Amino acid sequence: QRSLDMSLITRYGGFWGMLPETSGRVFWVAPSATYTVEGRSYPSSDNNDGLSPERALRTVDYAVGLTTANVGDVIVLLPGSHSITATIAVDVAGITIVGIPGDAPLPGNRSNSGSVRRRSSITSTQTAGIIFTVSVDDIEIAYLDLQPPAAGGRGISVNTAADRLFVHDCSII
């Protein structure tokens, strides 16, 4: 399996090539029950291990539960609109949650925001609520369009005890 994981990183370049370098695991989450990678269709499920794009998990919340605190685990949201019906509790310290960027930004450079920059979004179908509630330290959230509910919704809520939240290259619509 090690050679399979390395071939995926090579095949997709460095994000699928711009994945954060990590000594932890990378969990993949699909935007729907069936999704396409490299022209092939796959079923997503929280019964999958999520350790490759071809075996993606179905929900971000389940992926958070599979991560291990402070070892550098990364959750990658495959391109598309991920719909949620409840707030995602980010309660495992030291994880990264990222979407797939639409272009390859250079270190230190920032470009205009917009859909060209991000291919992954999270849309809340709650009547009111929050997409992410962060209650732990050292969380990174990047390359996502966050679409909270229109009535009183927020993209991210942070507990006062949570330190070092790094949010970048996101938009809240």
Q: Is the dihedral of CA 140, 144, 149, 150 positive or negative?
A: positive
Q: Strand locations in the chain, DSSP E?
A: 26-29, 34-37, 40-43, 74-77, 80-84, 88-90, 96-99, 120-124, 130-134, 139-142, 145-147, 154-158, 165-168, 171-172
Which of 49-53, 82-86, 99-103, 152-156 is predicted with the least confidence, judged by mean pLDDT? 99-103
Q: What is the pLDDT of residue 12?
A: 43
Q: What is the pLDDT of residue 118?
A: 66
CA-nearest of 98, 93, 103, 83 to 143 is 98
Instruction: Select the more confidently predicted residue: 8 or 71.
Output: 71
Residue 158 burial (CB count, 10 A): 15
Mean pLDDT of 137-164: 88
Contact criterion met (CB below 8 Å) for 98 and 74 = yes
Which pair of tokens denotes residue 8?
């995926």
Q: Model's pTM, two decimal places?
A: 0.83
- At 91-150, the pLDDT tens digits run 999 999 999 877 555 555 555 554 455 689 999 988 778 899 999 999 999 999 999 887
Residues in contact with 37: Cβ distance below 8 Å, sequence separation at least 6, in sequence order? 53, 54, 78
CA-nearest of 111, 94, 63, 71 to 165 is 94
| 40 burial level (CB within 10 Å; 0-12, 13-18, 19+) | exposed
Mean pLDDT of 51-76: 96
Q: What is the pLDDT of residue 108?
A: 53
- At 3-46, the pLDDT tens digits run 444 444 434 444 455 666 777 999 999 999 999 988 899 999 99
Which pair of tokens denotes residue 136?
């732990």
Check pLDDT > 80 for residue 82: yes
